[in-house]
Structure 1
Amino acid sequence: MTSPTQSESSRFSFKNLMAVPGRPKVDFDTHHARQMLDLGLSITDVAHHFGVSRPTVYRSLRLSHPEALKRFTDISDEALRVLVQEVNDSHPNAGEVYLMGHLRSRNIKVQRSRLRDALHLVDPEGVERRKRKTVTRRVYSVPCPNFLWHIDGTHKLIRWKFVIHAAIDGFSRLIPYLHCSTNNRSITVLHLFESAVQQYGFPLRVRSDHGGENQKVWEAMIRERGEESRPVIVGSSVHNERVERLNYDINQQVVSVFKQLFFDLEEEGILDADNSTDLFCLHYTFLPQINQHLQEFRAAHNSHSISTERNRTPVQLFFQNHHLIQLHSNHEDPHPGILADELLQRGDLRQVNVDSIGSPLSQQQLGTLDELVQTFPLTMDSKAKYRRISSFVADQLF
Structure 2
Amino acid sequence: MIKVYFEMGLIYSDILRALAQYHQTVISERHLKRILKGMGLSRRKDYSDINDVIRFVEHQLNESGKQHGYRWMAQKCKVSGLKSTQEEVRIILRMLDPAGTQQRKGRRLLRRSYISKGPNFLWHFDSYDKLKRFGFCINGCVDGFSRYIVWLNCYITSSNPRVVGSYFMEAISSLGGCPLVIRGDLGTENVFVRLFQRYLRRNDNDNRAGEKSYLEGPSTANQRIEYMWNFLRRECTDFWICLFRDIEAAGDFDGGFLDVGLLQYCFMHLVQRDLDAILETWNSHRIRQVHNSRSPSGRPLILYSLPGLYGTHDYICQVSDADVELCKQECTFRQPLPCDADVFEMCSCIMNENDLDYPTSTDEALDLYRTLRRASQIFLTN
TM-score above 0.5, yes or no? yes
Is residue 208–residue 214 contact of structure 1 (8 Å, CA) maintained in 2?
Answer: yes
What does residue 97 of structure 2 align with? 123
Which residue identity does 2:313 align to in structure 1? I
Deviation at 1:272, TM superposition (A): 1.0
CA distance in structure 2 between the partners assigned to 1:362 and 1:124 by the alignment: 41
Distance 1:114 1:365 in 2: 44
Pairing 1:267–2:236 present: no
Match of 1:87 in 2: 60
Q: Does 1:317 align with 2:317?
A: no
Matched, 1:292 2:251: no
Structure 1 residue 233: Cα displacement = 0.7
Q: Deviations over 1:247-290 (max 9, x none)?
A: 111122222212222222222222110x2111111110111111
1:282 counterpart residue number:
263
2:176 matched to 1:193?
no
- 1:52: which partner in 2? 27
Unpaired runs of at least 5, structure 2: 20-25, 291-295, 318-337
Letter of the 1:315 counterpart: L
**Counterpart AA for 2:59:** E
Cα distance in 2 for residues equivalent to 1:154 and 1:379:
21
Distance 2:166 2:112 in 1: 31
Q: Which residue of 1 aligns with 2:324?
A: none
Is 2:146 the partner of 1:146?
no
How far off is 1:393 after superposition?
Answer: 2.5
Say if 2:10 is the partner of 1:34: no
Q: Corresponding residue for 2:351? A: 369
TM-score, normalised to structure 2, is 0.79
Distance in structure 2 (CA, Å) of the matches to 1:373 and 1:33: 48
Kindly state the Cα deviation for residue 208 of structure 1 after the two structures are TM-superposed: 0.5
Equivalent position of 2:87 in the other structure: 113
Counterpart position of 1:248: 230
Cα separation, partners in 2 of 1:180 and 1:271, compared to 1, 3 Å? same
Please list every run of 5 or more consecutive structure 1 residues that lacks an aligned counterpart in the other structure: 1-31, 330-355
Partners of 1:160 and 1:362 in 2: CA distance? 16
Paired residue type of 1:236: P
The structure-2 alpha-carbon separation of the partners of 1:220 and 1:181, relative to structure 1 and needing over 3 Å to count, comes to same
Identical-pair percentage: 24
Greater gyration radius: 1
Output the aligned Cα RMSD: 2.8
Q: Is 1:393 paired with 2:376?
A: yes
The answer to whether residue 206 in structure 2 is matched with residue 218 in structure 1 is: no
CA distance in 2, matches of 1:57, 1:365: 57
Q: Find the residue that maps to 1:176 and give its secondary structure.
A: strand
Q: 1:210 to 1:373 in 2, by over 3 A?
A: farther
